[in-house]
Structure 1
Amino acid sequence: MLTIKCAKCKTKLFKYKKIGQGKVLRCWKSKITRLYDGEIQAKNFVCGNCNNIIAEIKDDRLDMNSEAFTYSGTKIRK
């Protein structure tokens, strides 16, 4: 389980169930288990604290901006 945080202000955004050892390029909405502090503005997911754009929202996923977030936790092996 990964905890996704804003790279600017270190605010917790959400918990994500990452399966596989690859990079976090996109997050599927169905695998987000808990939402902490994030907002949807237009077609973007932004930090609720500093308005940093974290991801672009598609139909069933978030396309992540790799410079906008950090994460901690462990990835689940396949």
Structure 2
Amino acid sequence: MAKPNKKQPTKTVDIYCAKCRCELFKYRKGGKGALVKCFKERIVADFTSIPCHCPQCGGEFARDTLIRGTPAFKMIGGKVIFK
């Protein structure tokens, strides 16, 4: 399968925990759709201390996985919001 585009999108979004509204990532997102996965190479700023867990409430919001051979976080539905 195809890898993600080498040229990263210019638009950055802020990703927050849906439960406590704590900021988790600044991420370069492409397209208009829902946030299903976050490729690790596109994360600009990471505010988490333990991967895939919210630093404030401790809830798990994603799972560490490989998508198309590239390391990524697969988001759990309803656990994160982005602006």
Q: Work out whether the TM-score is over 0.5.
A: yes
Unaligned runs of 5+ in 1: 73-78
Determine if the alignment matches structure 1 residue 71 to structure 2 residue 77: no
Q: Distance in 2 between matches of 1:53 and 1:47?
A: 6
Q: Distance in 2 between matches of 1:38 and 1:10?
A: 16
Provide the residue aligned with 1:52 in structure 2.
Answer: 59
Q: Distance in 2 between matches of 1:38 and 1:2?
A: 20
Whose strand proportion is higher, 1 or 2?
Answer: 1
- Which of these two proteins has the greater Rg computed from alpha carbons? 2
Aligned length in residues: 68
Once superposed, what is the RMSD of the aligned Cα atoms? Answer: 1.1
Q: Which runs of 4+ in 1 moved over 2 A?
A: none
Q: How far 1:38 moved relative to its partner?
A: 4.5
The alpha-carbon distance between structure 1 residues 38 and 9, as it changes in their structure 2 partners (threshold 3 A), is farther
Unaligned runs of 5+ in 2: 1-11
Q: Write the deviation string for residues 2-28 of structure 1: whole angstroms up to 9, x where unpaired.
A: 100001111000100001122110010
Greater relative contact order (Cα 8 A, min sep 6): structure 1 or 2?
Answer: 1
Report sequence identity in percent. 28
